[in-house]
Structure formats: structure tokens, C-alpha cells
Amino acid sequence: ENSRIALPVGSNLDRFINKNQEAFKYATGELSQLIRDLAYAGKVVNREINRAGLAGITGAYGSENVQGEEQQNLDVAANIRFTRALKKGGEVAAIISEEDEDIIDLNNPRSKYIIAIDPLDGSSNIDVNVSIGTIFSIYRRISPAGSPVQEEDVLQAGKHQVAAGYILYGSSTMFVYTTGKGVNGFTYEPSLGEYILSHQNMKMPKDGKVYSVNEGSYRSFDDDVKAYIETCKDRGYSARYIGSLVADFHRNLLKGGIYIYPSTEKAPNGKLRLMYECNALAMIAEQAGGLATDGKQRIMDIEPESLHQRVPFFVGSKHMVEEASK
């Protein structure tokens, strides 16, 4: 369909962004520049992750974030890198981040975009050399440019996202994103410092045989979730749970599968945060033919009430999420 950006695999992200911009006839290039800024920050964070053990930036930072989690050094480092790159880039009016309690107003008088970001997803995996990621959503601000950013600018339902994506720092580093015209994946070539188009127009299989859930909390799952997990076992599905949402999500995007973080005793609304984890991956999932719910309703229809609000998260192959959601 015309939304496919016709470019040869092997093209780089920059050319793709320019081609994509042509498809938006009123584009002024600001969103394109913003995507470039995010991709650049991802290269810097990628390098720090790859040498964390050498640079002594593994381990705990020594403070807690608003989530009550112990911040890792790389959580803080990634947060600084992305915030700084976006401030310098000049396209972003404000950022909400997992690692900052309040809205970061960048006081950019003319910028019209808002970013919601999880600078480093899967923090418990940093020191043990397991894949981690970055997750981001892009919104257009509602209040007039030049005025202080309001809560209405940052608390927007996922269906208003202009773009969304993630970076997966895995066996290879990938930049995967959508601007509402399909999902495309770029593999980072460190020797060139370029993201190369490797996965064009990504589609999530409608069915799968993999389920990702932390069964350590099985006892406190509600009956519907327990019943669905039993069904997966009856069908002989594979259990895969990496502890990094981005890595589990990416595998399910390519091969089919479902990721569930349901309500548990410790986390009655689930653990994952609507604004900078669930909405972005929900947009990617739907753009690739998948689905994301909170167990009842579409994630992207949820009207947010607070910056760090948690929701139960069911995301992946359409038929699997439909079956697991009541």
C-alpha cells in the first residue's frame, strides 16, 4: 500500500527519514530532525552500554527514582544523554522520563513536540550483559508554543502519538520506529556509525507459540490470567521471559507471541508505565498488525491521569492478545 516507503534494504536511516518526510506533504522537517536526535543519542548510549564494565558505570547509582526503584548508573547516564541530545536538538518542548519525577520543561519557545521516554528498559539486566532497551513516544504539544508546557501537553492518550519507537541494545543494536505508516527496523553498524535499513515494513504474526510472563508472581495473578497461562501450557507453547520488555517485545514482533505483565499482589496495576513503556509499544504493535490491551481495553484509548501511571499490559500477536483479554 502507498504507506510503504520504497527504499532498498541497506539504505540508511537518514535517507529513510528524508524519504518518509516526503510522504507527509506538510512536513517541515522538525519531526525528521527529532528522530535523528533520538537515533544519535542511541548511538552514544549504545557505546556506553558496550563498555559499561570497563568504564565503571555498572552497578547502582545510589538513589531511588520516583518508582521506588534503585537507579542503576546506566539508567542515570542514559537519561542524561537523551535529555541533553533532545535539549540541544531544539525540537522538543518537554520530556517526561521514567527517571524524573516531574515534567522536564526544556523552555524551547518554538518547539512543538513532547517526548515520553524510558531511557533504559530492563535495568536489572545491565550488569549481567543481557539485552536492554530504550522506549520513546512522540506527541505534538496542545498548548501554544512559547508558553510553559502544561500537564495536558504531556498526559495524552496513546492514540494521539505522532511517532513511537525503541532501541534494542542486543546481540546487535536496532532502531525500530513508526510515524503511523508501518514499522521499520534499522540495524546499527558501529564501524560506520550508521543505522542500516534491515527490517522493512515489519509485520507481527497474528498467532504465536511463545508467552512471556514472570511466573514467579503466578500465585497472585487473577483467575483469567491463570487460565490463559494454563491454556498456553496445554498447547505446549514456549515460555520466554528475558526481564527486558523491549527484548521480549522485539522477539514476539518477529516470531509471534504475547507478553503479559498483569496485576499482581506487589503491583496491583501491573508494573509497566503507560506513558513511556506501554503506549509506544502499543503503537508499534498495532502498526505491525498486533494488539495491546490492559486486559480489557486498548492501551491507546486509555486517558492518562498521572505521569508515572502503571497499567496491566498484554501485547503481541493479535489473536493471542484478543484471547488473553476479556
Q: For ligand AHG, which stretch binds (CB under 6 A), given 114-122, 225-233, 291-299, 301-309? A: 114-122
Binding mask 27-66 for ligand AHG (x = CB under 6 A): ----------------------------------------
Q: Minimal distance in Å, beta carbon 105 to ligand AHG?
A: 23
- Distance CA(160)–CA(137), nearest Å, equals 10
Q: Does 248 bind Mn ion (CB under 5 A)?
A: no
β-strand partners of 10? none
Quote the radius of gyration of the chain (alpha carbons, Å).
Answer: 19
| Annotated binding-site ranges for Mg(2+) | 98, 118, 120-121, 277
Closest by alpha carbon to 258, among 303, 181, 312, 219? 312
- DSSP letter string, 212-268: E--GGGGGGS-HHHHHHHHHHHHTTPEE---S-HHHHHHHHHHH--EEEE---SS-T
**103 within 8 A of 154, measured Cβ to Cβ:** yes
**87 within 8 A of 113, measured Cβ to Cβ:** no
Q: Minimal distance in Å, beta carbon 234 to Mn ion?
A: 31
Binding mask 98-127 for Mn ion (x = CB under 5 A): x-------------------x-xx------
The entry of Mn ion, ligand AHG, none near residue 214 (CB within 5 to 8 angstroms by kind) is ligand AHG
Q: For ligand AHG, which stretch binds (CB under 6 A), given 82-90, 159-167, 238-246, 312-320? A: 238-246
Binding mask 121-140 for ligand AHG (x = CB under 6 A): xxx-----------------
Number of residues that bind Mn ion (CB under 5 A): 6
Closest CB to ligand AHG among 12 and 214? 214
CA–CA distances in Å: residue 22 to residues 11, 12, 19, 283: 16, 16, 5, 22
Does an H or E element contain 198, and which? strand 194-199
